[in-house]
Amino acid sequence: MNRNTLDAAHLSAEQKTAIDAGIESIEGIVSSVTISFSSEERRRYGSVNEQNKLFVNKVNDYKENQPELKSTDVDWNKFEADYADRTFADTRISRLENVVRMLSDFKIAHDYDNHKMSLKDYEYSQYKLGMEVPGFAEKVAELKQFFPHSKGTAKK
């Protein structure tokens, strides 16, 4: 590993295309069945907190294990379909959150490497400026703005 960078692996063009195709596929499928809530609707309908989810799970448990106790006023086919879909969505959200974390770590590694290499380029530019090589005065002056607390820079 290079001392100054993380040398993170890079995605191939084929891998990037496959990721985009997968995301596009998921978006297409989910958008065909989802309801797009306003902020107010998300607050109103999204109030099924963890305690209420446990309640739903307990009702489902009774339905499964003691069906003679279930209400005849409930559409149990719809209940089961809703329960299966919420369980499916919950596990997929967890998996997608893991993918988001992996992509975030991937990005952090490349951000870090880019920053380290940019610092090295700035040091090189300062060296060339000291050697009075044409063009480097403008480059160093332009890049110096990103180091407002460095020695020799005027505070604005």
The pLDDT tens digits for 50-71 are 899 999 999 999 999 999 999 9
CA 4, CA 115: separation in Å to the nearest integer? 10
The pLDDT tens digits for 60-107 are 999 999 999 999 999 999 999 999 999 999 999 999 999 999 999 999
104: tokens are 């975030």
CA angle 61, 30, 77 (to 5 degrees): 30
- Distant-in-sequence, close-in-space partners of 46: CB < 8 Å, separation ≥ 6: 37
Q: What is the dihedral of CA 90, 96, 100, 102, to 10 degrees?
A: 120
Phi-psi group of 8: left, alpha or beta (phi > 0 → left; psi -120 to 50 → alpha; rest → beta): beta
The pLDDT tens digits for 1-18 are 456 789 999 999 999 999
Three-state DSSP state, 5: coil
- Model pTM score: 0.77
